[in-house]
């Protein structure tokens, strides 16, 4: 069983600032660092570090070769990555001393996928293989439809959220992983976490739904079944890849035979380690770190 993560890879330019910049303000940064990121690449590394066999497919420019080397060094297969004559996707991230962040995203190669490249990628996968998706690449409805026709199991993290996602063929999704804002957007309803989760499970029958809710932990819902797991407490210094880590460790744990609650607990522990470190991809822990 193989996992295809069809998604984004970015160069993250991280600026340490005393507070989020305000309109019209000029603010000095105490430090700047470049990190490997992108939700697709981050989730691929989390899956690989959690013990899964994962292929990453995306698109980079000449400035992104070092990102592929980093993915390879973390156990991710990058043979299906496309190259093009243009800039790799990148972000500008403001990071405060409290670990809060604000992100400007430029799509670059992530928004330049071509239909033929998509079909070519799927030739390497079969029925019951897994597809992991986010919302940082183009042609998302086509990718969902192609995976469904092949009989792959689809895990979707609809981030960053926008209303166009509600027009995708979401009935093909087997596992839906959202934060509270994404959950409200998909459910078209606000309220308590339990109320939003109930609205989602009612809308997406037979779909496994994981809703991460920050300091309140995470919720699982499928039809009438619900589970809540508290957060694993830690001192946060950078929350950039917390959700990506959670997804990777949750899905890898489920594939490796762990029950839902234990998979959520393992994912929570892994995320708590991630937020205690600077960076995105580099902050994701190894499997041995959560098992000790």
Residues 6+ apart with CB under 8 A from 238: 95, 99, 101, 275, 277, 278, 279, 283
pLDDT of 279 above 80: no
pLDDT band at 96 (very low <50, low <70, confident <90, very high): very high
Q: What is the pLDDT of residues 26-41, one digit of tens each?
A: 999 999 999 888 999 9
Of residues 263 and 33, which shows the higher confidence score?
263
**Cis, peptide link before residue 206, omega less than 30° from 0:** no
Q: What is the pLDDT of residues 117-149, one digit of tens each?
A: 999 999 999 999 999 999 999 999 999 999 999
Of residues 280 and 235, which shows the higher confidence score?
235
Query: Among 129, 238, 244, 282, which one carries the catalytic annotation?
Result: 244
pLDDT at 233 (0 to 100): 86
pTM of the model: 0.91
pLDDT at 80 (0 to 100): 97
Angle, vertex CA 39, rays to CA 36 and CA 45, nearest 5: 65
pLDDT of 105 above 90: no
pLDDT of 189 above 80: yes
CA distance 173 to 171: 6
Three-state secondary structure call for residue 171: helix
- Which domains, and CATH codes, for the chain? 3-8+38-87+108-290 (3.40.1190.20)
Compute the CA torsion angle 275, 244, 198, 194 (nearest 10 deg): 0
**What DSSP character marks residue 209?**
E
pLDDT band at 98 (very low <50, low <70, confident <90, very high): confident
The percent of the chain in helix, strand and coil, each rounded to the nearest 5, is 40, 25, 40
Q: What is the pLDDT of residues 35-90, one digit of tens each?
A: 888 999 999 999 999 999 999 999 999 999 999 999 999 999 999 999 999 999 99
pLDDT at 113 (0 to 100): 95
From the list 267, 242, 272, the residue with the least C-alpha distance to 253 is: 267
pLDDT band at 292 (very low <50, low <70, confident <90, very high): confident
Q: Examine the residue annotation and report whether 244 is marked as an active-site residue of this protein.
A: yes
pLDDT at 52 (0 to 100): 97
**What DSSP character marks residue 232?**
-
From the list 38, 86, 40, 82, the residue with the least C-alpha distance to 63 is: 86
- H or E stretch at 113: none
Average pLDDT, the chain: 95
């Amino acid at each position: 069983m193989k996992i295809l993560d069809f998604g984004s890879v970015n160069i993250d330019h991280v600026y340490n600032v005393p507070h989020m910049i305000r309109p019209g303000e000029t603010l000095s940064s105490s430090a700047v660092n470049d990190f490997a990121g992108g939700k697709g690449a981050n989730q691929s590394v989390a899956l690989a570090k959690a013990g899964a066999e994962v292929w990453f497919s995306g698109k980079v420019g000449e400035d992104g070769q070092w990102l592929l080397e980093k993915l390879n060094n973390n156990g991710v297969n990058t043979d299906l990555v496309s190259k093009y004559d243009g800039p790799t996707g990148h972000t500008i991230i403001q990071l405060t001393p409290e670990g809060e962040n604000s992100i400007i995203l430029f799509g670059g190669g992530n928004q330049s996928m071509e239909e033929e490249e998509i079909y070519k990628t799927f030739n390497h996968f079969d029925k019951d293989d897994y597809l992991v998706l986010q919302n940082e690449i183009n042609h998302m409805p086509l990718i969902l439809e192609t995976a469904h026709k092949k009989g792959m199991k689809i895990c979707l993290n609809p981030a960053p959220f926008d209303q166009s996602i509600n027009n995708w063929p979401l009935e093909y999704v087997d596992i839906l992983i959202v934060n509270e804002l994404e959950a409200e957007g998909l459910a078209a309803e606000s309220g308590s976490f339990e109320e939003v989760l109930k609205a989602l499970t009612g809308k997406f029958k037979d779909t496994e739904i994981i809703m991460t809710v920050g300091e309140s932990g995470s919720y699982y819902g499928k039809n009438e079944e619900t589970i809540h797991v508290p957060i694993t407490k830690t001192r946060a210094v950078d929350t950039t890849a917390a959700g990506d880590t959670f997804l990777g460790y949750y899905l890898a744990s489920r594939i490796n035979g762990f029950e839902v609650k234990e998979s959520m607990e393992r994912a929570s522990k892994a995320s708590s380690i991630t937020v205690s470190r600077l960076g995105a991809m580099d902050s994701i822990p190894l499997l041995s770190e959560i098992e000790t």
